[in-house]
Amino acid sequence: MINVGIVGIGFMGWIHYLAWQKVSGARVSAIVSRAPVKRSGDWTSIKGNFGPPGRQVDLSQVRAYATLEAMLADRDVEIDVVDLCLPPQMHLSAIETCCAAAKHVFCEKPLALSTAECDTAISAAASANRRLMVGHVLPWFAEFQFAVDAITSKRYGELTGGVFKRIVSDPLWLTDYWDRRKVGGPLFDLHVHDAHLIRMLFGMPEACFSSGRLRDGVVEFAHTIFQFANPGVTVSATSGAIDQQGRPFCHAYEIYLERATIQFELAVYRDGAEKIAAKLFATSLEETSVTVERALIENDDLIQAFVREAEEVRDAIASGKPSSVLDGILARDAVAICEAQEASIKSRAPESCR
């Protein structure tokens, strides 16, 4: 049994809690929150842009603490992995504290808000011989999972490029969202998902050129073209925040392979959601001039992606083998990509991603 301590009971802490309830061989044994009302199990104030609203939670079998240090100091509670759902500016300090206590760490993305802090976190985990995994959940969503499987199997040939989109309405309920030192805005909070996916699928870009607009020095919206060592690979991404609250979220991709294109798009509106199921446009093996279209993915429970992610954490700890998806190096490189995009927007010139 893998024992989990969740630190930070906000929106992501709530989503992670729901996911762990569905993971066999794992249980939440402790939670940490500064708020006494949340330590009592009243999570009704939690809200976000997907998933069920917070509710009253039975914590009778779960120990509750006001601080991470108090949880780690309690020898009467079993903790194998600390699930950090804290604001990004608190990640590094918490990771170092957990590693010093010889605990594995599962940290919600981004790993940190600079590559320097990411490197320090990775070093802390390595020195303690502990696993550091980062919650880049995108590859566990069914539509992205299918694309990853199609790419790695090479059944449609080599990967040749992709177009990625991820846009939200201004998250007005987050007071620090536009603070570069605390959350980092949509580039580091939102686009970092696609930066991680691009890094995982295509390798590390050599450089990028980004055009975008700033809000008080923080990137608000960006269009980016990435450059790779292989000149035959073309990748671009669009991400940012819009003022219109009527469409709080959308994400999409087109991924190009030698013999297929995979397309997906989801848009959430205040009055519902419209989803284009992931579709495959593949060259027929019998008649190379003919293409076929096939729907691949139906609507998937959003929480289920976090369940699959949590199962990966469980398996990595139980087996002692690293996760190829949640690896800290990939998460570090995703932050490096976002830093390069930020620099490119400000310099109005291409910037190195290395």
- The whole-number pLDDT of residue 177 equals 94
Do 170 and 128 fall into the same domain?
A: no
Residue 318 lies in a domain: no
Residues 6+ apart with CB under 8 A from 283: 259, 260, 290, 291
Residue 140 near residue 146, CB atoms below 8 Å: no
Residue 120 lies in a domain: yes
Do 262 and 180 fall into the same domain?
A: yes
Q: Give the total number of structural domains in the chain.
A: 2
Q: At 195, which CATH number?
A: 3.30.360.10
Residue 328 lies in a domain: no
Residue 310 lies in a domain: no
Indicate yes or no: pTM above 0.85.
yes
Do 90 and 8 fall into the same domain?
A: yes
Residue with tokens 């700890």: 317
Do 199 and 344 fall into the same domain?
A: yes
The boundaries of the domain holding residue 214 are 138-305+334-352
- The whole-number pLDDT of residue 303 equals 87
- The whole-number pLDDT of residue 84 equals 98
Residue 314 lies in a domain: no
- The whole-number pLDDT of residue 174 equals 83
As separate numbers, helices (DSSP H) first and strands (DSSP E) second, the chain gives: 10, 15
Residue 271 near residue 290, CB atoms below 8 Å: no
Angle (deg, nearest 10), helices 328-347 and 192-202: 110
Q: What is the H or E stretch that residue 104 is in?
A: strand 104-108
Do 148 and 279 fall into the same domain?
A: yes
Residue 206 near residue 352, CB atoms below 8 Å: yes
pLDDT in tens, the chain (354 residues): 999 999 999 999 999 999 999 999 999 999 999 999 999 999 999 877 677 888 999 999 999 999 999 999 999 999 999 999 999 999 999 999 999 999 999 999 999 999 999 999 999 999 999 999 999 999 999 889 889 999 999 989 999 999 999 999 999 888 899 999 999 999 999 999 999 999 999 999 999 999 999 999 999 999 999 999 999 999 999 999 999 998 888 999 999 999 999 998 888 888 876 766 677 777 755 544 445 455 555 556 778 999 999 999 999 999 999 999 999 999 999 999 999 999 999 999 999 998
Instruction: Say if strands 218-227 and 234-242 run parallel, antiparallel, or are unpaired.
Output: antiparallel
How far apart CA 284 and CA 291 sit, in angstroms, is 6
Q: What is the H or E stretch that residue 123 is in?
A: helix 115-128
- Which pairs count as long-range contacts for 57-63, CB under 8 Å and 24+ apart, including other chains? 57/17, 59/31, 62/28, 62/29, 62/30, 62/31, 63/29, 63/30, 63/31
Do 34 and 157 fall into the same domain?
A: no
Do 155 and 121 fall into the same domain?
A: no
Do 25 and 76 fall into the same domain?
A: yes
- The whole-number pLDDT of residue 276 equals 61
- The whole-number pLDDT of residue 290 equals 46
Residue 323 lies in a domain: no
